[in-house]
DNA sequence: CTAGGGTTAG
């Protein structure tokens, strides 16, 4: 579709004397925006404005602005999109429901939850009623920012205002409750919805089955999937992936066969298994290249290169402000973006808002990248690194399209085991590749930098990321807090915690608290550790098994100091017998 | 606008 459109577009432009009108431009900006070609959108916008100056027509309208804002958001530059919104208002175009919806989606997806809430309020002030999609986006954003309470309030408001929930709404809520440790609530909601008959679909089942797998209730997950199938919902690759990973992680080796027996009437599992057999035989045919013994990343020699690779779009570009902007222009920021697009300094997004493409079942014989990912995840989950490497080689040789998803999982395994050279190689490959790295990639990189003892670099990268419109999610914050804390930069870790909660509006979760308690305990700051434990309980965040281990350590440390204190007092007493 | 990868302890 994209190729055909581009083809058509190119031919149109080559035709002599052909001119787009506003509609023509709008259609192109919308289309290329959807396909992630922001530079092209910006230059079209530029052209459009130049033409309208000369002729007095063909100028951008509200629709143009909305398409552009959408394009900027999908390229991950939500911060810029917010500025363009303001400029748009200034140039006499009042935002409509579409403008607000696009921005609320963008903000919610990129963890700018405060901005999302602000625009949500503004939208209503200007007399627009948010629809289900707006509510769904906002709810998802709130749950991802760990703001369960606010999410519940928003949902209540939604019901109060008479906006009808859809399946998606409930899926977002159930998934959100699971992610926020409100497991019981989510199960209850699922069962109630099922009783009512409506409001559950295949994705609901998939979400619940994944949770059951995570908790190790594999048998239950299996029967749920059976029920899912019996009710006519398609058991797709995502669901199968969840189950298979669950089986492997819990060492239930027969699970796959059981799954086969349990599911009738679908060809997906047999297809996957057939694929797996073929894969294994191809892997056996390959000579084994022992990758598991690679050395750790040595010396800091490649560090600067590392940083450059991390921020391809940042290396060359200077400050966004200043420049040769026309102060009479109604949209100086837009102009700057457009001129930057021309000078190639704004081309690569830090990471796009859309993740890897979703799975669609194709023919039984198709080996798509998602299947590769499925198995890669399985091997990596079991720590079978060399197997995963071979798999990686195979699809690399076959020229299969990579997604950052694949790179992330294999890289994360390397980083975890300390094979930084390998991770380095993967990074290089990603740099050359068209697919944008996503936030997961950055997360793994920062984790690796921390393990290399380069917390300072992690810090620098964080700085650049935030300055240039990237975003941080909970996982990223948690990783960074951990890296800084482990490097002994406890104060900076605390600052980051402050930034996360106060500025970004993201609530800490179990992992955040565990990390903070651990870091402070190890640094001997027992009082602070205790403070975070208290904060955790007051926030209604229930401890998990990791907390237990950390608290054991904290308890022992406290015991030690108490003992020390006691002995100091005793010594003092002996010195001054009164 | 939702689900499978990336974060914490030993």
Question: HEC states along A507-552?
Answer: CCCHHHHHHHHHHHHHCCCHHHHHHHHHHHHHCCCCCCHHHHHHHH
CB of residue A515 closer than 7 A to nucleic acid strand B? yes
pLDDT band at A314 (very low <50, low <70, confident <90, very high): very low
Q: For A511 and B8, how far is CA from C1' in angstroms?
A: 5
Helix A62-74 / helix A78-90 crossing angle, nearest 10 deg? 170
Q: For A290 and B7, how far is CA from C1' in angstroms?
A: 29
* Residues A521 and A551 sit within 8 Å (Cβ to Cβ): no
The C-alpha atoms of residue A559 and residue A548 are separated, in whole angstroms, by: 16
Q: For A408 and B6, how far is CA from C1' in angstroms?
A: 7
Whether pLDDT at A353 is above 70? no
Identify the helix (H) or strand (E) that includes residue A574: helix A545-575
The C-alpha atoms of residue A317 and residue A300 are separated, in whole angstroms, by: 25
Residues 353-382 of A with CB under 7 A from strand B: 355-359, 370, 373-374, 377
Whether pLDDT at A323 is above 90? no
Backbone angles phi, psi at A216, to 5 degrees: 85, 10
The C-alpha atoms of residue A257 and residue A386 are separated, in whole angstroms, by: 25
The C-alpha atoms of residue A220 and residue A166 are separated, in whole angstroms, by: 26
Q: Which nucleotide is nearest to A404 (CA to C1')?
A: B5
Which pLDDT score, from 0 to 100, does residue A318 have? 38
Task: Please state the rounded mean pLDDT for residues A481-496.
Answer: 95
The C-alpha atoms of residue A301 and residue A424 are separated, in whole angstroms, by: 12
CB of residue A521 closer than 7 A to nucleic acid strand B? no
Please give the structure tokens belonging to residue A572.
């003092």
Whether pLDDT at A173 is above 60? yes
State the sign of the Cα–Cα–Cα–Cα dihedral A417, A420, A422, A426: positive
Backbone angles phi, psi at A299, to 5 degrees: 50, 175
Task: Please state the rounded mean pLDDT for residues A456-465.
Answer: 81
Please give the structure tokens belonging to residue A195.
């009783």
Contacts of A389 by beta carbon, 8 Å cutoff, 6+ apart: A289, A291, A410
End-to-end Cα separation, chain A, in angstroms: 92
Task: Indicate whether this model's pTM tops 0.95.
Answer: no
CB of residue A27 closer than 7 A to nucleic acid strand B? no
A254-294 pLDDT, tens digit each: 777 788 777 765 566 666 666 666 655 655 554 444 444 33
C1' of nucleotide B3: residue with nearest CA: A207
Q: For A327 and B2, how far is CA from C1' in angstroms?
A: 44
Please give the structure tokens belonging to residue A2.
């994209």
CA distances from A286 to A273, A293, A398 (A): 20, 18, 14
Residue of A483, A452, A456, A457 lying closest to A298 (CA atoms): A452
pLDDT band at A209 (very low <50, low <70, confident <90, very high): very high
- Give the best-scoring range by mean pLDDT among A249-263, A364-378, A448-462: A448-462
Which pLDDT score, from 0 to 100, does residue A401 have? 66
CB of residue A404 closer than 7 A to nucleic acid strand B? yes
Q: Which nucleotide is nearest to A444 (CA to C1')?
A: B6
CB of residue A226 closer than 7 A to nucleic acid strand B? no
The C-alpha atoms of residue A239 and residue A28 are separated, in whole angstroms, by: 36
Whether pLDDT at A349 is above 80? no
Q: For A328 and B9, how far is CA from C1' in angstroms?
A: 59
Q: DSSP state, A297?
A: P
The C-alpha atoms of residue A577 and residue A566 are separated, in whole angstroms, by: 16
Burial of A195 (0-12, 13-18, 19+ CB in 10 A): exposed
- Give the best-scoring range by mean pLDDT among A91-105, A269-283, A423-437: A91-105
* Residues A388 and A417 sit within 8 Å (Cβ to Cβ): no
A16-58 pLDDT, tens digit each: 888 888 999 999 999 998 887 888 999 999 898 888 887 777 7
Task: Please state the rounded mean pLDDT for residues A232-249.
Answer: 83
Which pLDDT score, from 0 to 100, does residue A330 have? 64
Bigger pLDDT: A335 vs A575? A335
Whether pLDDT at A546 is above 80? yes
Which pLDDT score, from 0 to 100, does residue A296 have? 31
Whether pLDDT at A518 is above 80? yes
CB of residue A389 closer than 7 A to nucleic acid strand B? no
Out of A223-232, A363-372, A447-456, least confident range = A363-372
Bigger pLDDT: A122 vs A428? A122
* Residues A48 and A291 sit within 8 Å (Cβ to Cβ): no
User: Nucleotides on strand B with an atom closer than 7 A to protein CB?
Assistant: 1-10
Q: Which nucleotide is nearest to A477 (CA to C1')?
A: B7
Residues 57-116 of A with CB under 7 A from strand B: 105, 109
C1' of nucleotide B4: residue with nearest CA: A238
Per-state percent for chain A, helix, strand, coil, to nearest 5 = 70, 0, 30
What percentage of chain A carries pLDDT values higher than 90? 44
pLDDT band at A299 (very low <50, low <70, confident <90, very high): very low
Which pLDDT score, from 0 to 100, does residue A313 have? 44
Q: Which nucleotide is nearest to A547 (CA to C1')?
A: B9
Residues 165-184 of A with CB under 7 A from strand B: 166-169, 171-172, 175
Which pLDDT score, from 0 to 100, does residue A293 have? 39
Residues 427-486 of A with CB under 7 A from strand B: 438-444, 447, 473-476, 478-479, 482
Q: Which nucleotide is nearest to A374 (CA to C1')?
A: B4
Which pLDDT score, from 0 to 100, does residue A530 have? 95
Task: Please state the rounded mean pLDDT for residues A334-359.
Answer: 60
Residues 259-318 of A with CB under 7 A from strand B: none
pLDDT band at A334 (very low <50, low <70, confident <90, very high): confident
Q: Find how far residue A557's CA is from the centre of its chain.
A: 37
Bigger pLDDT: A32 vs A468? A32
Q: Is A363 left (phi over 0), alpha (psi -120 to 50) or beta?
A: beta
Half-sphere exposure of A79 (CA within 13 A, CB side): 13
């Amino acid at each position: 579709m994209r190729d055909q459109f581009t083809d058509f577009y190119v031919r149109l432009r080559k035709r002599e004397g052909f001119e787009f009108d506003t509609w023509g431009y709008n259609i192109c900006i919308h289309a290329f925006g959807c396909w992630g070609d922001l530079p092209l959108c910006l230059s079209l916008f530029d052209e459009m404005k130049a033409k309208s100056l000369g002729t007095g027509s063909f100028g951008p309208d509200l629709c143009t602005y909305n398409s552009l804002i959408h394009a900027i958001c999908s390229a991950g530059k939500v911060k810029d999109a917010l500025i363009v919104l303001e400029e748009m208002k200034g140039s006499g175009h009042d935002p409509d429901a579409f403008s607000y919806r696009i921005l609320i989606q963008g903000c919610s997806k990129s963890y700018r939850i405060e901005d999302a809430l602000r625009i949500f309020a503004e939208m209503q002030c200007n007399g627009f009623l948010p629809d289900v999609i707006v509510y769904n986006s906002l709810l998802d954003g709130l749950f991802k920012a760990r703001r369960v309470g606010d999410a519940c309030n928003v949902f209540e408001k939604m019901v109060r205002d008479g906006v009808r929930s859809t399946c998606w709404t409930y899926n977002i809520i159930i998934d959100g409750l699971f992610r926020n440790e409100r497991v019981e609530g989510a199960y209850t909601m699922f069962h109630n919805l099922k009783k009512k008959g409506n409001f559950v679909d295949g994705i609901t089942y998939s979400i619940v089955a994944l949770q059951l797998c995570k908790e190790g209730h594999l048998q239950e997950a299996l029967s749920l999937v059976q029920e899912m199938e019996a009710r006519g919902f398609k058991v797709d690759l995502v669901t199968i992936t969840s189950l298979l990973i669950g089986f492997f992680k819990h060492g239930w080796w027969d699970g796959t066969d059981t799954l086969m027996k349990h599911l009738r009437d679908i060809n997906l599992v047999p297809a996957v298994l057939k694929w797996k057999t073929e894969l294994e035989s191809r892997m056996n045919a390959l000579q084994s290249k022992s990758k598991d013994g690679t050395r750790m990343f040595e010396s800091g020699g490649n560090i600067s290169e590392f940083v450059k690779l991390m921020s391809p779009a940042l290396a060359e570009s200077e400050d966004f402000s200043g420049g040769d902007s026309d102060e009479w222009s109604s949209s100086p920021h837009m102009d700057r973006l457009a001129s930057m697009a021309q000078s190639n300094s704004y081309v690569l997004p830090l990471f796009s808002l859309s993740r890897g493409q979703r799975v669609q079942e194709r023919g039984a014989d198709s080996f798509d990248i998602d299947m590769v990912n499925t198995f890669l995840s399985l091997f990596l989950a079991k720590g079978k690194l060399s197997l995963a490497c071979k798999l990686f080689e195979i699809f690399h040789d076959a020229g299969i399209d990579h997604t950052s998803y694949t790179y992330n999982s294999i890289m994360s395994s390397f980083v975890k085991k300390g094979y930084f050279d390998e991770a380095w190689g993967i990074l290089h490959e990603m740099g050359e590749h068209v697919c944008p790295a996503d936030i997961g990639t950055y997360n793994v990189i920062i984790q690796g930098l921390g393990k290399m003892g380069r917390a300072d670099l992690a810090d620098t990268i964080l700085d650049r990321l935030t300055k240039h419109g990237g975003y941080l999610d909970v996982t990223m914050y948690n990783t960074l807090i951990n890296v800084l804390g482990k490097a002994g930069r406890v104060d900076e870790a605390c600052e980051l915690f402050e930034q996360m909660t106060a500025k970004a509006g993201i609530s800490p979760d179990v992992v955040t608290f565990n990390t903070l308690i651990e870091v402070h305990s190890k640094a001997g700051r027992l009082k602070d550790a205790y403070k975070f434990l208290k904060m955790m309980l007051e926030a209604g965040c229930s401890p998990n098994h990791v907390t237990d281990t950390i608290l054991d350590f904290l308890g022992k440390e406290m015991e030690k100091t108490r003992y020390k204190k006691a002995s100091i007092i005793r010594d003092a007493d002996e010195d001054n017998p009164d």
